[in-house]
Structure 1
């Protein structure tokens, strides 16, 4: 069988690079690169992408073997109808591994055609890393790498960029900009560079929404046979997507996604969109990864077919998350029903292991704000969210659990490992402000309830704990 490459697909259109993309994972390829392809097909953008590998281990080499071609497989329901389509994406021109060729990475700054920078380095990626230096090749953190690139751009006398991060943290554009400015100050890059950063670059916060479960490994060979070519970089996704970008109106002309018929909103107020999506879609996802894996459940679809866990997630959404949000209830319940339909997508095998990546930072961003708001309003701890936290501590404490493993940054795993060796594991972890942004032991009653959840999961199993929550047997008044 032929391998997907330019040798056999010579007529696929290619355009000059107009965007740099930090991240080579399934999400960006099925979200950003797919949308750029849709604009190109309508003659609205005529631009390609250069991918920068954001971690020492990545997929740029694999993509290079296929001449940066890959297939996006869309499967799901749209307006009540089943959708099953596939498309070879040719919007990625090349890729660079800065860990192997840092000079090539810095040379990206010289290309005047490049106007956009996109990123998805997970919630943990937009973070300051102490010790990063301009002389590092490359620096450790994504913001430091970006600062080095922007400095090269400034020295070359070129225009700045529209910088649009896709990481699911609040105010991701503003947060990224603040870290870049911090590096610029620490590295003493000069006032002129800071002025250029502020005046010539537009950091846009954004919210992304498309479920991308990744590579369909169990069906891959059947799909190759059906399509007539082998592709080891297939990215499967649902048809639904929305991209909300907080930025200037002229962005709609520079990046004509909406003109291409895509569900993209450019707004000056992102927060209502973000709260609805992050807490009602991503929050339950993180709960699933913290609990369902401990019961041997492997996918979102499998969970939605499980009476115990479906009831648990349904009640988390309607009884803990929705009452904590400052949006019209009717709008939230309608959105929640839509999300559950997406969770039940019969074509999706969204693996909980993939959702579990960096669960600590995800819990902080997706569930902790809801937990605090719920306590503020109802003066008791939300049992389902707190049980998810108990499940997280069970997984991260042992780190070799037979059913679920911790998948996170090395320093995070080391923090848990060291605390687990002590006699005060739970207290030490909940009090660690570097993990959660605050001392969680100061939340009255949370330490006790997390302790109870951990004991129940260890002694009776995650399913029994979920069943007890479903029967309202885990509630604690403050």
Structure 2
């Protein structure tokens, strides 16, 4: 069983369907012809998240029979992905959805019609120019990670042949401008706050620099600023797509599926002809398009206003998901866990996560109206965290914790204060913040040293807790006031917020000795 088998005349689908593989329900050749002649969507970033989510959503839309165009993928960073993961399989891939009960769903993805290397050194660039000059193009999208939106003076100075992704897209937008000031929407699908603004900032920077250097006319700058022609909507995306899993590879091999080899490029991209991901997913997009859009709502995308996108993101980042992850990261490291899926089976951890989300954070959640906050937390706790296929670790999530606490907990505390709510009702959030001091000490609950995860402020913050000793009775913990008054870390002065003394008492409990972390966690997480 090979992916390209499904393109052969007389292909017999019986064996595939018998083994649980969902096959495309549309005419692949017809979709490819129509997309080549009148493309509507080009996507930059051919990594695993693209194949597992945007391309799979389009697959679902095509399977309804109500749409007939695929997506052209363009790779801006690692061109070997095109050569090794796309073209040998005629742009087909297999999506394996990993379920919390240990079972999987298998679906062949045929929505990608072309794969191109987005750089002028390749002939593919001419095809991209052709696509951008076609009036049919509606959307240019990205999954290039947050750092993929970076640019610098050196790249701005390279003129119309930049190296960075946003410079290349701006050069292609210039081709679209020259073709008649044609409208298009430039859509980020990356997991970063107000992601459309990151795209817009980069495009404007390149256009302005090229104008200053005499490479483009003022009319081009006006074109990219004209929201009746070019828009940069926000979106909120949430789906975990880990690297190809050994268990999945073994399952596929047992089916007789031959395209299951791992692929590693010279730039250390790790992929495969198959992509595995969790089953839960969310993509909420600001509906602000200038030339129409692919009907991805047929595949589950939620189109809404910018305000609602912002509310969904705020719900996720400040109350209903990211703070719970950070709580698990801190306590997971202290209690010796190395898998999130194993940690959530701990009754005390589960109680901590549930009560932090449902009891302490929920009073300040703004319900976005399109995703129920209670159901969002429920899916996170009951489906996403226990998933045995998810190889995520507390140690990974604990990276850069000092940069996350202000958003993940400070926002909730500030909303309590702004709404006149009593911060003395907060118990578990102070416990999590107190546990951060114990985490910084780098000694787990069994008294064993561990290396805290990389963090730009790690050494500085460890120096603050250095005077504290684990197992010393009635020690003075006032040194932590220097930590908990830092608004740059927590978003608020925790003493001014009425929580400083409570956190100090909890720090004393957590430093009481071996087993103190478990004792304090059980005490506070199960007491109500």
TM-score, normalized by length of structure 1?
A: 0.73
**Does the Cα contact within 8 Å between 1:166 and 1:206 map onto a contact in 2?**
yes
Instruction: Identify the residue that residue 6 of structure 1 maps to in structure 2.
Output: 4
> Does the C-alpha gap of structure 1 residues 357 and 379 become closer, same or farther in structure 2, counting only changes over 3 Å?
closer
Give the C-alpha shift of residue 56 in structure 1.
Answer: 5.0
Partner of residue 318 from structure 1, selected from 336, 344, 358: 358
**Aligned residue number for residue 222 of structure 1:** 251
Residue 72 of structure 1: how far off its partner (Å): 0.9
Per-residue deviation, 1:205: 1.1
Question: Aligned residue for 1:87?
Answer: 107
Q: What is the CA–CA distance in structure 2 between the aligned matches of 1:46 and 1:160, rounded to whole Å?
A: 21
Counterpart position of 2:219: 192
Would the aligned equivalents of 1:36 and 1:45 in 2 still touch at CA under 8 Å?
no
Alpha-carbon distance change, 69 to 290 in structure 1, aligned in 2, over 3 angstroms? farther
User: Residues of 1 paired with 2:53 and 2:275: CA distance?
Assistant: 10
Comparing 351-360 with 107-116, which one deviates more in the overlay? 351-360
> Deviation at 1:207?
1.7
The answer on whether the counterparts of 1:272 and 1:327 sit within 8 Å (CA) in structure 2 is: yes
Alignment of 1:318-337 (within 5 A): 318-327=358-367, 331-337=372-378
**Cα distance between partner residues in 2 of 1:58 and 1:317:** 42
1:204 to 227, 233, 257: 233
Q: Give the match for residue 97 of structure 2.
A: 74
Please say if 1:265 is aligned against 2:303: yes
Q: Distance in 2 between matches of 1:229 and 1:307?
A: 41
For 2:346, the equivalent position in structure 1 comes to 306
For the 8 Å contact 2:287–2:303, the answer to whether it is kept is: no
Give RMSD over aligned pairs. Answer: 4.6
Distance 1:362 1:60 in 2: 35
Residue pair 1:249, 1:266 contacting (<8 A) in 2 also: no
Q: 1:281 aligns with which of 312, 315, 321?
A: 321
Which ranges in structure 1 are unaligned for 5 or more consecutive residues?
396-400, 407-412, 474-478
**Deviations along 1:47-81, whole A, 9 cap, x unmatched?**
2333333545974444134333221112437xxx9
Residues 390 and 453, structure 1, Cα contact 8 Å, conserved in 2: no
Q: Is the 2:413–2:423 Cα contact (8 Å) retained in structure 1?
A: no
| Cα deviation 1:131-166 (Å, max 9, x = unaligned) | 4315176444x4444333323432344623222212
Alignment of 1:24-35 (within 5 A): 24-35=46-57
Pairing partner for 1:241 from 266, 274, 281:
281
CA distance in 2: counterparts of 1:452 and 1:130, whole angstroms: 50
> 1: distance between equivalents of 2:337 and 2:491?
33
Residue 423 of structure 1: how far off its partner (Å): 6.1
Select between 441-450 and 142-151 the one with higher mean Cα deviation.
441-450
In the alignment, structure 1 residue 108 sits paired with structure 2 residue 128: yes
2:68 to 46, 62, 68: 46
Aligned to 1:167: 190
Contact 2:167 2:203 survives alignment (8 Å): yes
Correspondence for 1:410: none
- Alpha-carbon distance between aligned partners in 1 of 2:363 and 2:79, rounded to the nearest angstrom: 41
The answer to whether the 8 Å contact 1:133/1:139 transfers is: no
Change (3 A) 1:371 1:24: farther
Q: Which residue is equivalent to 2:433?
A: 386
2:326/2:398 contact within 8 Å kept? no
Displacement, 1:201? 1.6
Equivalent-residue separation in structure 2 for 1:357 and 1:50 (angstroms) = 36
- Shifted more, 379-388 versus 238-247: the winner is 379-388
Q: The residue matched to 1:50 in structure 2 has which SS?
A: strand
Could you tell me whether the CA contact under 8 Å between 1:293 and 1:352 is conserved in 2?
no
CA contact 1:213–1:354 (8 Å) conserved in 2:
no
SS state at 2:182 partner: coil
Question: CA separation in 2, counterparts of 1:200 and 1:354?
Answer: 45
Query: How many Å separate the matches in 1 of 2:158 and 2:398?
Result: 30
Contact 2:129 2:172 in 1 (8 A): yes
Work out whether residues 435 and 507 of structure 2, in 8 Å CA contact, stay in contact via their aligned partners in 1.
Answer: no
State the partner residue of 1:135: 158
Structure 1 pair 346–148 and aligned structure 2 pair: CA distance change class (3 A): same
Q: Deviations over 1:384-434 (max 9, x none)?
A: 553586689789xxxxx967754xxxxxx7x558x669967999xx99xxx
Deviation of the 1:281 alpha carbon: 2.4
1:247 to partner: Cα distance: 1.5
Q: 1:19-47 CA distances to partner (integer Å, 9 max, x unpaired)?
A: 22232333222110001111222333322
Paired residue for 1:349? 390
Gaps of 5+ in 2: 10-23, 263-271, 443-448, 467-478
Kept in 2, the 8 Å contact 1:304–1:344? The answer is yes
Deviates more, 1:55-64 or 1:266-275: 55-64
Residues 144-155 of structure 1 correspond to what in structure 2 (within 5 A)?
144-155=167-178
2:412: which partner in 1? 370
Query: Could you tell me which of 332, 342, 347 is aligned with 1:292?
Result: 332
**Whole-angstrom distance in 1 between the partners of 2:464 and 2:452:** 23
| SS of match in other structure, 1:88 | strand
Per the TM alignment, residue 223 of structure 1 is displaced from its structure 2 partner at its CA by: 1.9
The number of equivalent residue pairs is 444
State the distance in 2 between where 1:243 and 1:39 align: 14
- Whole-angstrom CA distance in 1 between matches of 2:180 and 2:312: 37
